Amino acid sequence: MNPRNKVTPGTNRPDTLKGIYAVWWREITVFFRETPRIISSVMSPIIWLLVFGAGLGGSLSVQGLDYQQFIFGGILVQTFLFSSLFYGAYLVWDRKIDVLKAVLVSPLSRSSIFLGKVFGGVTISLMEAIIVLLFGYLIGMNYSAGVFVLALVLVALASAGLTALGLAVGSFMESPEGFQLLSSLVLFPLFFLSGALFPINNLKGPLGILAAIDPVTYIVDILRNVLTGIHYFDPMLDLAALAVFIVGANIIGVWAFSRMKS
């Protein structure tokens, strides 16, 4: 037998859907094996709600709502805001340990790899949102099953934009040390200006303008609206802002991802 006849090397055409699934599958599998990441992403919002919400809540109420319940929507957003952005920026770590390189030299297109990653981020956000929403019942929130599902749909949409933004940041970052910078320059401003923790109609002047251009403001507003009925903007405006953000972040993300060499 001539072993040379056994196989013929050739070219490989990837199946796009299968490729996206493979990237998504890797993200989720790895996520579940990194226990500290799961614990911190679920524990931190619960601690916020309990300590911050209950602590301040004793002395405050907003528009007839107990403060803890007022910030509930904001804390839900905080959960997936942090996890989506960090998840995306985690790309820089993938690059550092060279895992990404093996995918980048494959024939799978950059936008497919990008989509697989975004789906991964959305899935993780959804899992965390389910835990936070279930926890909500324990602190006296009451929303119907329909509202629960609607909230999850909004979480998925918002997370698709935030993960894309994180991936864009991650593909520009040179080293994981930039994580600190990401927190102080991107995450905290986005979060604190969004009105997650206070009524936004009290913001005047430049702060008010900054809040108005912060995409997270609209995510908080619509989720709080859905969960408690309190809102500062028309829901259609929220949805329009969200749509612009998702499309914009994904366009920037795909572009940033394509220019990245390794």
Chain contacts with other proteins (rule: CB under 8 A):
3-4, 6-15, 18-19, 21-23, 25-26, 29-30, 33-34, 97-99, 101-109, 261-262
Residue 30 carries which side chain, given as an amino acid letter? Answer: V
Closest approach of other proteins to the CB of residue 216, in Å? 30
Tokens linked to 161: 């934009």
Q: Closest CB to other proteins among 91 and 220?
A: 91
Tokens linked to 60: 């405050």
Q: Closest CB to other proteins among 25 and 188?
A: 25
Of residues 88, 61, 111, 74, the one with CA closest to residue 160 = 88
Tokens linked to 19: 């490729």
d(CA 247, CA 230): 27
| C-beta of residue 233 within 8 angstroms of C-beta of residue 218 | yes
Closest approach of other proteins to the CB of residue 175, in Å? 10
Q: Closest CB to other proteins among 114 and 218?
A: 114
Question: Kindly report the CA angle at 125 between 119 and 128, in degrees rounded to 5?
Answer: 145
Residues 6+ apart with CB under 8 A from 131: 42
Q: Closest CB to other proteins among 152 and 260?
A: 260
Q: Closest CB to other proteins among 28 and 210?
A: 28
Closest approach of other proteins to the CB of residue 118, in Å? 17
Closest approach of other proteins to the CB of residue 106, in Å? 5
Helix locations, the chain, DSSP H: 16-33, 35-47, 54-57, 67-70, 72-89, 91-96, 99-104, 110-138, 145-172, 178-182, 188-192, 205-213, 215-228, 235-259
Q: Closest CB to other proteins among 85 and 108?
A: 108
Closest approach of other proteins to the CB of residue 159, in Å? 22
Q: Closest CB to other proteins among 23 and 168?
A: 23
d(CA 8, CA 241): 53
Closest approach of other proteins to the CB of residue 67, in Å? 40
Q: Strand, helix or coil at 199?
A: coil
Of residues 195, 38, 66, 208, the one with CA closest to residue 124 = 38
Closest approach of other proteins to the CB of residue 51, in Å? 32
